[in-house]
Structure formats: C-alpha cells, structure tokens
C-alpha cells in the first residue's frame, strides 16, 4: 500500500456478514500526503467499465453491483421509503469525484446507467 498511497497514518476496518453470509467491509484509512481526487478516480470507480480488456469486470459489475432501476415501482421493496429510494439511487451524474457539503464522496458517474452502480 505504501508504494501507491504514501505513509499509512491509521486504518479502521469492520467486516460484516450480509445476507447469505457474504462478507462486506467498511475501511477508512488516512495516508500522508493526502490523495488527490484525480487519483481516486483512477483507483475507485462507480461506473460500468467500457474497456474491452475489462469485459469480465463489466459482467460482474452488471450482475452484482447494480441497483434495480424499477425499485420504486415495487411497493414492498425495502428501499422504497415514501416513494424515494432509501439509498439515494439514482445518483446524480458527475464528471469528477468530489465531496458534498457533509464530507461524503460523490463519485464520478458519466452515463445514465452509472447512476445505478452501487459503490
């Protein structure tokens, strides 16, 4: 990690086991010097890959990391809270990664389909 990111100051991680026992991790780390958002765009994507060399990654993203586009049409869907998605889908389109006023990361999303990629 130090080769790419710099000096590790701290790391906090929690591993949860989701539905059907699938692991899910929350990881927060602090490195010095701090990373630029341009570097985050290269490392983390909330987009569907279009590169032919990443065809296997594209198929996995489409299978496992997509939020349903018709999630609000189903009244009994767990994310439908009074006609709005509890998870914030669909996300707004963004040309670059940035922070909102609450300090949350708004990932780069270029196309309409990218608005439904779970990050």
Taking only the tens place, the pLDDT of each residue in 14-71 is 999 887 778 889 998 888 887 777 777 777 888 898 889 989 999 999 999 999 888 8
Give Cβ neighbours of residue 58 (< 8 Å, ≥ 6 apart).
48, 49, 50
The rounded distance, in Å, linking the Cα atoms of 105 and 107 is 6
Q: Where are the domains of the chain?
A: 1-34, 45-119
How many percent of the chain have pLDDT more than 90?
26
The rounded distance, in Å, linking the Cα atoms of 88 and 86 is 6
Asked if the model's pLDDT at residue 1 lies above 50, the reply is no
């Amino acid at each position: 990690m130090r080769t790419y990111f710099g000096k590790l100051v701290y790391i906090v991680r929690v591993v949860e086991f989701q539905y059907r026992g699938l692991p899910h991790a929350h990881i927060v780390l602090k490195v010095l010097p701090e990373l630029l958002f341009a570097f985050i765009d290269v490392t983390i994507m909330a987009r569907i890959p279009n590169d032919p060399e990443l065809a296997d990654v594209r198929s996995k993203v489409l299978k496992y990391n997509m939020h349903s586009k018709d999630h609000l049409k189903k009244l009994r869907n767990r994310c439908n809270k009074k006609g709005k998605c509890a998870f914030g889908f669909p996300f707004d389109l963004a040309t670059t990664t940035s922070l909102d006023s609450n300090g949350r990361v708004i990932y780069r999303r270029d196309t309409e389909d990218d608005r439904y990629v779970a990050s």
